[in-house]
Amino acid sequence: MRHHSGSVEVITGSMFCGKTDELIRRLRRATIARQKVQVFKPAIDTRYAAEKVTSHAGTEFVATPIQSASQIRQLLEADVTVVAIDEAQFFDDEIIPLVQELADQGIRVIIAGLDTDFRGEPFGPMPVLMAQAERVDKLQAICMVCGEPATRTQRLVNGQPAHYNDPVVIVGAAELYEARCRKHHIVRRD
């Protein structure tokens, strides 16, 4: 079933807020509706399974790992109606025109990714993708310090907050990261 017009949906927020669970929920609904779905993820994300998007809660969906966004064009099947991209913050800016191109071709594009890095700063292409999307859902996690709604991703190094100058991209899960509210999010600058 082809869509009448394409669209871009972005699911974003901090780590542990349910982005991938929501992505998978939308993909399952598209599959039930007999839409042709293709899912892509960055090859550097090997936390759970190389050829699946997997949430921290354990839900999963088959995905194709790619090195760069341009590979999506090469791997795109002719009858696809839904393209999903998980962990989009890890791709470079070439993902931005690609997503627009897919939507212009009548494809529903669903993107999940962190809106900010561990510093609390906009992450990769996500700000532009959010601005150009027809729909943006910003989810919240629960602060691991106080239990309030969390919108930040706290990186920990040996149990202590990471330094501002640490590398931005370090793939990990609960062993390196926590969800935090604004008050309890700390970035060392000493």
The C-alpha atoms of residue 53 and residue 31 are separated, in whole angstroms, by 16
Query: Looking at the DSSP assignment, which residues form a beta bridge with residue 165?
Result: none
pLDDT (0 to 100) of residue 140 = 98
pLDDT (0 to 100) of residue 51 = 75
Domains by residue range for the chain, with CATH: 7-139 (3.40.50.300)
pLDDT (0 to 100) of residue 48 = 60
Q: Which residues of the chain have pLDDT under 50?
A: none
pLDDT (0 to 100) of residue 49 = 65
Helix, strand, or coil here: 9?
strand
pLDDT (0 to 100) of residue 80 = 97
pLDDT (0 to 100) of residue 157 = 87
pLDDT (0 to 100) of residue 57 = 67
pLDDT (0 to 100) of residue 46 = 65
Total residue count of the chain as it appears in this document: 190
pLDDT (0 to 100) of residue 47 = 62
List of residues 6+ apart from 94 with CB closer than 8 A:
68, 69, 70
pLDDT (0 to 100) of residue 173 = 62
Q: What is the pTM of this model?
A: 0.91
Q: What is the residue type of 89?
A: Q
188, HSE (Cβ side, Cα atoms, 13 Å)? 11
Q: Are 141 and 177 in contact (CB under 8 A)?
A: no
Q: What is the set of active-site residues?
A: 87
Nearest alpha carbon to residue 126 among 164, 92, 84:
92
The C-alpha atoms of residue 25 and residue 23 are separated, in whole angstroms, by 5
pLDDT (0 to 100) of residue 71 = 96
